[in-house]
Amino acid sequence: MTSPVSRPYPLGATWRDGVLDVAVYSETAEAVEVCLFGTGDAPEEERRVRLTERTGHVFHGLVDGAGPGTRYGLRVHGPWDPEKGLRHNAHKLLLDPYARAVEGMWDWSEDVFGHLHEQPQTLNEADSAAASPRGVVVDDDFDWGDDAPPRTPMAETVVYEVHVKGFTQQHPDVPEEIRGTYAGLAHPAAIAHLVDLGVTAVELLPVHQFAQDSHLLEKGLRNYWGYNSIGFMAPHNEYSSAGDGGAQVTEFKALVKALHAAGLEVILDVVYNHTAEGNHLGPTISLKGIDNASYYRLVEEQPESYFDTTGTGNSLNVGHPAALQLIMDSLRYWVTEMHVDGFRFDLATTLTRQDGDAEVHSAFLSLVHQDPVLARAKLIAEPWDVAGYQVGGFPARWSEWNGKFRDDVRDFWRGADGALGALAQRLTGSPDVYEGAGRSALCSVNFVTAHDGFTLADLTMYDEKHNDANGEGGEDGESDNRSDNNGTEGPTADREIDAQRDRQRRNIMATLLLSAGVPMVLGGDEIARSQGGNNNAYCQDDEISWFDWAEADRELQAFTAELVTLRRENAVLRPRWYDDEGPGTRSVRMLRADGADMEPADWQDAGAKSLGVQLSPGEGAEEGASFLLLLNAADGPVDFSVPDAPAGRWRLAISSDPEQEVGKEVKDLFLRDRSFTLLRSA
């Protein structure tokens, strides 16, 4: 029998053929030790094994007496010289960046810092093992059965952005012991809500292993959103009902399998732009102690400092092969081993800044473009970072969060002057952003609300943010919510105000789901989930953020599901191209209230706040119904002269005005203030 041989790839701790093979990349290390920890009565008992082989810049070797379930960490020996960007400190137990499961969390004592707090240039010789989590060796075996990705075409995709914990933490039909976990989200009651709503993909807020922020813990708060990643291969351990000894991996796979069985895709919100190690004053818990300069972008003239375009203290060095390999290995792992269907890249513009400026032909984008594993994955960019705004600047392969859609739709429905022209662009898939570059409407991921900002209910209830619970004196979060609530904030018993809010929620939801592009619904908006006016609930792991199922607006939920059904069943509401000829196209007419086509001068009328949009199948497109969308954001009613239908007669399909009669034949329409109506012609 041939003796096992250590290999320099894959990196990390790989259980293969009955042996554990460990590989660690570092250009500047002198030696690397794998630290194995006991269990049971002696969990802190540490055994160190030096990796004796080296291939290029990879230290590797076989480790005896270890296998699935083994807890481990790394100690990396090398120079400590912060002024040159070198931060090795073998006194620190480091998390393997390729660990596939993580047990425990950091306690944020001074022990986990490579330097002394009062002397940042001085090596801290305190051992950090007792204050640090462990990686867990994982066996990749899992019974996927007949699992198959739904492969929903982008034109048919409706994204639902949701938090793993918040969705089920208070769900009455999910067993208490699994609420707020991967298993809770996989429960039939949770999946039934998603299926009944009609969405096709769940976009999970970060589930990569992340660290809790010390400054939040000191205030009695927690990192709820999870944008503080430290383990790009590991599912976050706090979302596991089975504990954090490795079973979280199996539980996450079971979640994906259950969602796929229901026809739902899984998109991960991934944070590859930075890690939880912060700047030069941050802790040394992983990459910083392994190979600081390879994994992080340092200031060229001052390598003790970090180049930061994320606002978090550091940015990954996407101009270096090691950092790029880590990102690409992670992406491929989640597709091949975890069966996820796509990714939403947080602050994606940072990933294109290999030399400082955002580049459409950056190494990262080029690697993703040519990778055969990622060819079948959905790719969605958040096309900005703290240093720049890049909406429309990503390659054709990518879709993007369209911030212009959010801003322009909010402006229109709050009755802003001069908002009509921008609204027309957003309704038709933002051709002003994408068409000139040969891209389609499917590059635009449309949203009006997201995790970062007001919920839909709060957008219609609050003029100002109410973030006092965050402990930052109300200074955090955006100031302008681009709404108009007439100075009346919060819940009210005033029927007229409540009715207007109900209409506005339906107006915004309809604009989102009836526009060309890919709609993204913020989880909970369909049931009028409120955060009490907190528009930056990143640190609120409590009732402020969790879904309040007891107060769910079931009428709004049914209304949203009806809109999703209309979109799914009518191709003219989800065109694949801007043209009016060929498969997947439609013809569009923009109409004034008098039924005439909009003229150039009409778009210049700052006081115009009503619009009709007629949508019909394009020449050569599949046959189907035509629609007439009537929108009125004015404070008063509008009489619409309805043009003749392309075929048959116009009948009322859906409206935010409860006095409108669904199914009624329509020739002319009295459209009340702040409302929409959709007509259909078979």
Catalytic residue ranges: 346, 382
R_g (Cα) of the chain, nearest Å: 27
Judge contact between 548 and 170, C-beta under 8 A.
Answer: yes
Q: In this structure, what token pair is assigned to residue 582? A: 């060929």
Count the neighbouring beta carbons within 10 Å of the beta carbon of residue 44: 8
Judge contact between 588 and 568, C-beta under 8 A.
Answer: no
Spatial neighbors of 601 by CB under 8 A, at least 6 apart, are: none
Block residue for tokens 């049971």: 40
Count the neighbouring beta carbons within 10 Å of the beta carbon of residue 109: 13
What sign does the dihedral 412-203-401-622 (CA atoms) show? Answer: negative
- DSSP annotation of 131 reads G
Count the neighbouring beta carbons within 10 Å of the beta carbon of residue 308: 20
Judge contact between 229 and 275, C-beta under 8 A.
Answer: yes
Report residue 380: phi and psi, to 5°. Answer: -125, 125
Judge contact between 570 and 622, C-beta under 8 A.
Answer: no
Buried-exposed string 583-596: b where 16+ CB fall within 10 A, e elsewhere: ebbbbbebbbbeee
Beta-ladder partners of 677: 630, 655
Q: In this structure, what token pair is assigned to residue 191? A: 């999946």
Find the helix or strand (DSSP H, E) in which 458 lies.
helix 456-459
Spatial neighbors of 506 by CB under 8 A, at least 6 apart, are: 556, 559, 656, 676
Distances (CA, A) of 153 to 201, 562, 574, 624: 11, 20, 11, 19
Spatial neighbors of 366 by CB under 8 A, at least 6 apart, are: none
Between CA 616 and CA 677 the distance in angstroms is 17
Between CA 402 and CA 20 the distance in angstroms is 45
Q: What is the largest CA-CA distance in the chain?
A: 86
Between CA 530 and CA 166 the distance in angstroms is 13
Pairing of strands 302-306, 675-681: unpaired
Q: Residue ranges of the alpha helices (H) in 284-419?
A: 287-295, 321-336, 363-370, 403-413
Query: What string of H, E and C letters represents the secondary structure of 298-329?
Result: EECCEEEEECCCCCCCCCECCCCHHHHHHHHH
Beta-ladder partners of 102: 135
Spatial neighbors of 220 by CB under 8 A, at least 6 apart, are: none
Distances (CA, A) of 635 to 603, 639, 640: 19, 13, 15
Long-range contacts of 122-129 (CB under 8 A, 24+ apart): 123/80, 123/89, 123/91, 124/89, 124/91, 125/91, 126/91, 127/91, 127/92, 127/93, 128/91, 128/92, 128/93, 128/284, 128/285, 129/35, 129/44, 129/46, 129/73, 129/93
Between CA 141 and CA 263 the distance in angstroms is 23
Burial degree of 141 (CB within 10 A; 0-12, 13-18, 19+): exposed
Between CA 341 and CA 321 the distance in angstroms is 25
Length of the chain: 682
- DSSP annotation of 596 reads P
Q: 3-state class of 250 per DSSP?
A: helix
Count the neighbouring beta carbons within 10 Å of the beta carbon of residue 623: 8
